[in-house]
Amino acid sequence: MAEHHTGPAEVGAPMDYEEHEQTYSMFLAAAKYGTLFLVALLLGMAAGFFTGAGFLGGLVVLLIVFVAGLVLLR
């Protein structure tokens, strides 16, 4: 059967909140810029495959969208 504990749930070392906040900030930045890159990549691929732009045109679209996103997300 389940054991019933009445003491504190955390018995390990004290939590380092500063390190936790830094890690969370890095995770948010990676998610934000990773999403931006994937959106720019998809737009560049769409421009390259479905229009007459070709590979170089798609690459230019990717770079323009990525740089514009970096400026807007600051």
- CA 59, CA 66: separation in Å to the nearest integer? 10
pTM over 0.95: no
9-55 confidence digits (pLDDT tens): 666 677 788 999 999 999 999 999 999 999 999 999 999 999 988 99
Does 72 or 6 have the greater pLDDT score? 72
Q: Are 57 and 39 in contact (CB under 8 A)?
A: no
What are the structural domain ranges in the chain? 40-73
